[in-house]
Every structure is written in C-alpha cells, then in structure tokens.
Amino acid sequence: MIAPPLTDFSRLCVHTITTKPWSIEQAASHYSAAGVRGVTVWRQWLEGRNIAAVRRLLADNGLTVVSLCRGGFFPSVDAAARQTAIDDNLRAIDEAAELGAPLLVLVCGADPRQPLVVSRQQIADGIRAVVDHARASGVKLGIEPLHPMYADTRSAINTLRQANDMCDALSDPQLGVVVDVYHLWWDPELMDQILRCGRARRLLAFHVSDWRTPTEDLLNDRGLMGEGCIPLRQIRGWVEEQGFDGFIEVEIFSNRYWATDQQDFLEKIKRAYLEHV
Ligand code: ZN
C-alpha cells in the first residue's frame, strides 16, 4: 500500500465532543477550514436544533457525517427505565437518519445494582428491540466496548471479544463494532479479535486518542495521540489489514484541552494525527 502524503487529512474525522467549547456552527467552519473532512456528531449538539439544517450546514462545509454518538444505555433494574432507553434509541436512530449519519454508536450501558451478565442480557434485548428500525432507517448500530473501569455504569461490554460474541449471538448484519483504542489497547486478545471483526466484516469505526500516565480523571483526561502509551500505528495497522478504510476519528475528552484555545488544539490534533496515528 502506498502511504498517503504527509498533509493528507482526507480520512481525519473529529468528534464534536473533542472540541466541546465549540457550537456546531463553529465546529463546522473551523473543521472545514482546517481541512478535516469527517465529523462525528454528539447528540447534545442536536438538542433543540433543526436536524435537517445541521445536515445542510455540515454538507455546506464539505464535512461527511461519520456517525452519531451515542445510543445505548439499555440496562436497568427498572423495567420502565429499560423501555425509556429503547424509546430513546429509536429516537437516536431517527436523528441519525435525518442527519445523514450511517452509524449510531452504542455505549451499551450497565447498572451497578445488578450483575454484569444481567446487564449484558438486557443490552442484547435492547439491541433486538431497535435493530429493525435501524435497518428500515438505513442506520447501522456499532457496539463500542468500553474500558473495564466503566463497567459499573457505562458499559457491561468491556472487550472486543464480548462485542464480537454479542454480534455473533444477535447475528444481524445491521450490527457491528466500533474499535476505540482508548478502551481496548491493553487487551492481549486485541489483534485476534480485530481479525475476527475483519472476517465477519463488522468493523464499522475506529476511534483514536491516547492514554496518559498518570490519568487524573477517569473520564475527561484522555491524551492527544502521541502523549501516552497506546501503540496507535500498530492498532491502526491491524484495523486496516482487515480492509478498514474509513475515517480515523479523534475522540478526546479532556478538561485540560477544553480549557485551551480550540483553534490551537485543532492544529495540535492535525499534527498528532500525521505524526503518531
Ligand atoms: Zn469512542
């Protein structure tokens, strides 16, 4: 394969949460001016907005909508809450379709008041309840395994093996997985499970950031690529060997970067993308 030229940002996607201080208008114009070609929109940026107008705004700025973040959060000890979650996921699928996002990312959820195996069963039930609507809407569903430090409340699916197992069990081509290096870099099975994704053609998205030492906040201290210990190039290599040629999505939750000038931060992202991913 021929390496892309060093100024090629054609596969660079930025999540709106990465530049959290920016409105969708600011994100659209600044990403576009920076040469970024992909955007993953977090649902907060759609609240109270005309989604068709946001879709036009992004298209007018030359941005491809890569995915909508996020659906999921299916488990609860409370049956009414599980139904509320299903209803919310149906709405998220509608929003993705209206936005022109081909993928809804699922942060699957967990409830610390019950065993993880029960939460996993409720995740399967929740996905089953919405997958036909996703198919009818032309939206894929991507299970994103989360680092086990989030297993109490954010996701009972913590390894790529578990995500693959869930996809095998549900056996629906509308369902796939999202590989996020922040959550999965430590896993000794990662390469084998990425291969398994490739064989099943279910690798839908690839998220990058880095793991800082020490990590000072479990949620909002992700590093810029190159600042930490994640073998980004190696993991990207495994993903691309499986035929993945989609966007490389920069998803950084960082109190430290959100407090800085976002234009400077975006330039740092571009440089880190070229040098470390
Ligand atoms: Zn992610």
Query: What pLDDT digit, counting tens, does each position of 60-75 carry?
Result: 999 999 999 999 999 9
Omega into 214 within 30° of 0, i.e. cis? yes
Provide the 3-class DSSP secondary structure of residue 58. helix
> Do 167 and 143 contact (CB within 8 A), yes or no?
yes
**Alpha carbons within 13 A on the beta-carbon side of 16:** 25
State in Å: Cα 92 to ligand 1 middle: 17
CA triple 264-249-198, angle to 5 deg? 160
State in Å: Cα 182 to ligand 1 middle: 8
Q: Identify the helix (H) or strand (E) that includes residue 182.
A: helix 181-184
pLDDT tier at 5 (50, 70, 90 boundaries)? Answer: low
Residues 6+ apart with CB under 8 A from 123: 72, 74, 75, 108, 109, 156, 157, 166
> Do 254 and 222 contact (CB within 8 A), yes or no?
yes
Strands 64-72 and 140-143: unpaired
User: Which alpha helices (H) appear in 112-159, and where do they start and end?
Assistant: 116-137
pLDDT in tens, 199-256: 999 999 999 999 999 999 999 999 999 999 999 999 999 999 999 999 999 999 999 9
Query: Quick one: fold of 34-254?
Result: TIM Barrel (3.20.20)
Question: How many residues appear in the chain?
Answer: 277
State in Å: Cα 145 to ligand 1 middle: 9
Give dist(CA 108, CA 2) in Å, integer: 37
State in Å: Cα 43 to ligand 1 middle: 14
Token pair for residue 106?
A: 């699922």
Q: Calculate mean pLDDT across residues 13-17.
A: 98
> Do 51 and 25 contact (CB within 8 A), yes or no?
no
State in Å: Cα 158 to ligand 1 middle: 12
State in Å: Cα 181 to ligand 1 middle: 8
State in Å: Cα 104 to ligand 1 middle: 12
pLDDT at residue 3, as a whole number = 57
pLDDT at residue 7, as a whole number = 82
State in Å: Cα 122 to ligand 1 middle: 21
State in Å: Cα 180 to ligand 1 middle: 5
> Do 73 and 109 contact (CB within 8 A), yes or no?
yes
State in Å: Cα 11 to ligand 1 middle: 16
pTM metric for this prediction: 0.96
How many other C-beta atoms are found inside a 10 Å radius of the C-beta of residue 225? 25
> Do 129 and 141 contact (CB within 8 A), yes or no?
no
State in Å: Cα 174 to ligand 1 middle: 19
Q: What is the CA radius of gyration of the chain?
A: 18
Q: Identify the helix (H) or strand (E) that includes residue 209.
A: none
Q: What is the DSSP letter of 151?
A: T
pLDDT at residue 138, as a whole number = 98
pLDDT at residue 4, as a whole number = 52
State in Å: Cα 207 to ligand 1 middle: 5
State in Å: Cα 262 to ligand 1 middle: 20
